[in-house]
Chains A and B, each alone.
Chain A
């Protein structure tokens, strides 16, 4: 079976001097593959190169060396619209210089399916409506996006990505701005979308427990290199995590799912 995403020997370095303020990190010889319908997590500390990987996979950046294939097609040979019909990105948040409504925002996800159209077709409207129903934001359609709360924004952006009818959904730190309730909701929503629509998921996060809970396999990045790749139980081992995160950790089992749960081993009073 052709992998949905096939990454081989991916290497990238930002031009020096590095941009101050918005630092991003390079990658060295990264190789992995994502199967269709798989839920795949990329984890690692802040400087590991997770965001860089995401940008390379959506051709916002071009690799220095290595090969990325999407559905068997070399990524460099696909137009931006062709990529966007296969990969839908859910960003952490979206800049909003102009107060677009939720419905307008979700309809933007239909652009790659008819870039030459001036207005969306009835089929586009139906796809956007279905995507909004799938993430429970149908009733929010006429509201300005900026009036939504954090959890609602996330679901609206997820609806936009689903409106692209992608084969792979990429989520960038999906729980970064969310409290516990919305984190649980996001995890449940991702599982449901994956199951019902058969869409593959690439989760980029430093939330190890969310990744352990929803992902079939994990890729642990450290300093731009692959440290471990495999099922959560194999990747989330204390020695690998401590080497990457530079702190002591305790790995437990979740009483509910039996998946790993990672905690920082806080130093006691005498350790301070």
Chain B
């Protein structure tokens, strides 16, 4: 089957799954609404002030949309960082780049930026800057003659992550805690419903990041052969690396600014797709955008309900899935021979 057909059928299947999971997520929650009540709210037959309307349209629906956008962005960022570093285990949180972005967000909050859409754009700019800073640091630490070694890159990511984590702790310690309301919860990776304008802004920023990576998906395939071979096959490798770097940092920064540093989505989702679709980035990038949404939405639905009426942070769920998965990949597929 041609790659075009495989991509089309995978996208149709994933879109169907996304809609199904989103539909299911609308009907479950700690409010204990009956399916009939949810359906009534969705159909617009309930009073706008009623519990079912507020819960369904004001809380669950926006949160579902945030999860879908954030998951897709994180999965595409994972594919991008894996292609850029030629390291199958690379991912925004593993590389410490989410921590850099989180540092930027905390800094933005200290500066006084709030949650209005315009201010959210400023927060994203801080997160983007933090992501760039952390990624540059990882690159400088891990660079060896002839490229980046898999193990050194992962270690550099851990170190940079620890550094920015400590920097965040310092900021939180010296600033009046009340000004950073909910920051601890947010740091664990916590999806919260966004107002429509912020949600739209988040979706646009994530969309731009996905398009940047998607546009260069074919060249990412060639970059996997090493920079010298990529150049000899006609790729402007320097320009490609710069653009993927910026695109992946934008995706990471936007997710961290609007949803928090949620880990491992960029590892789990691309690998699940690689197993089914192979290594072609032209298939992986668009399918990751949908499959990441499915995964994070499912994880968030579990997080909302598993200890109801309390709530877990979705970052806890993804880490519980992702950490063992990382170990599995490290032990089985990526022995230090590469």
Contact = CB atoms under 8 A, between A and B. Distances in A.
A164 interface: yes
A85 B88 contact: no
B221 to A, nearest CB: 6
A58 B145 CA distance: 20
B233 A164 contact: yes
Interface stretch (B172-180, B223-231, B289-297, B303-311): B223-231
A174 B222 CA distance: 21
Contact of B232 (A20, A89, A101, A117): A89
Interface string B171-198: 0000000000000000000000000000
B280 A104 contact: yes
B190 to A, nearest CB: 33
A89 B222 CA distance: 14
Interface in A79-98: 79-85, 87, 89, 91, 94-98
A104 to B, nearest CB: 6
Given A100-B279, A104-B279, A55 B234 contact: no
A119 B4 contact: yes
A83 B233 CA distance: 8
B145 A84 contact: no
Interface in B217-249: 217-219, 221-222, 224-226, 228-229, 231-236
Contacts of A80: 231, 234-236
B232 A58 contact: yes
A111 B234 contact: yes
B218 A94 contact: no
Contact of B234 (A22, A81, A99, A118): A81
B274 interface: yes
A248 B234 CA distance: 43
B153 to A, nearest CB: 11
Contacts of A89: 229, 232
Nearest to B279: A98
B63 interface: no
Contacts of B146: 19, 21-22
A117 B4 CA distance: 12
Nearest to B239: A80
Interface residues of A, number: 36
Given A19-B145, A97-B88, A100-B221, A60 B235 contact: no
A121 to B, nearest CB: 11
A71 to B, nearest CB: 16
B338 A97 contact: yes
B274 A60 contact: no
Contacts of A95: 86, 224-226, 338
A200 interface: no
Contacts of A112: 233-234
A158 to B, nearest CB: 14
Interface string A126-146: 000000000000000000000
Nearest to A55: B228
Contact of A108 (B2, B217, B221): B221
A15 interface: no
Which of A79, A82, A96 is packed against the most chain B CB atoms within 10 Å? A96
B84 to A, nearest CB: 11
A96 B234 CA distance: 19
B282 interface: yes
Interface of A: 19-22, 55, 58-60, 79-85, 87, 89, 91, 94-101, 104, 108-109, 111-112, 115, 117-119, 164
Interface of B: 2-4, 86-88, 145-146, 150, 217-219, 221-222, 224-226, 228-229, 231-236, 274, 278-280, 282, 338
Given A80-B234, A97-B88, A111-B234, 12 more contacts: A19-B146, A22-B146, A83-B234, A91-B229, A94-B225, A94-B226, A96-B338, A97-B87, A98-B274, A100-B224, A109-B233, A112-B233
Q: Which 8 A-B pairs have the closest CB atoms?
A: A112-B234, A84-B234, A81-B234, A98-B279, A19-B145, A97-B86, A89-B232, A58-B232
